[in-house]
């Protein structure tokens, strides 16, 4: 365990490129999150890596408060071969820390709301 918390699953951006994938990358800083601002936990981010061709989630990397809890959503999304657009359309209550996952997916597709 460490502070800030670190959580990741799947490919890194470098490894995905080396494996031959064309990528869409989305990143959302907690400093733009209402919940993070209200709780004073504005340090950190969520970074998502998608296959540009099919939209499948290839990897996720997060640093910040509660990310070791948030990674569970990403693990399920990878297992189910969830696409970026499916993540964007999934309900993420506002304001919550997990909403940063949806925002990072939206950033990868040019649809981010809170940046």
Catalytic site residues? 94
Q: CB neighbours (10 Å) of residue 12? A: 14
C-alpha neighbours within 13 Å on the C-beta side of residue 36? 22
| Cα Rg of the chain (Å, integer) | 13
Instruction: Give the whole-angstrom CA distance, residue 38 versus residue 57.
Output: 29
Tokens representing residue 58 in the block: 């290839």
Instruction: Give the whole-angstrom CA distance, residue 74 versus residue 102.
Output: 11
């Amino acid at each position: 365990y460490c502070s800030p918390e670190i959580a990741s699953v799947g490919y890194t951006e470098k490894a995905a490129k080396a494996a031959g994938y064309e990528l869409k990358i989305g990143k959302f800083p907690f400093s733009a999150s209402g919940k993070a601002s209200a709780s004073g936990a504005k340090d950190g981010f969520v970074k998502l890596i998608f296959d540009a061709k099919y939209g499948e989630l290839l990897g996720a990397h997060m640093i910040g408060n509660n990310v070791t809890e948030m990674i569970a959503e990403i693990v399920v999304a990878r297992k189910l071969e969830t696409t970026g657009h499916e993540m964007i359309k999934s309900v993420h209550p506002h304001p919550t820390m997990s909403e940063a996952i949806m925002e990072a997916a939206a950033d990868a597709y040019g649809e981010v709301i809170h940046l």
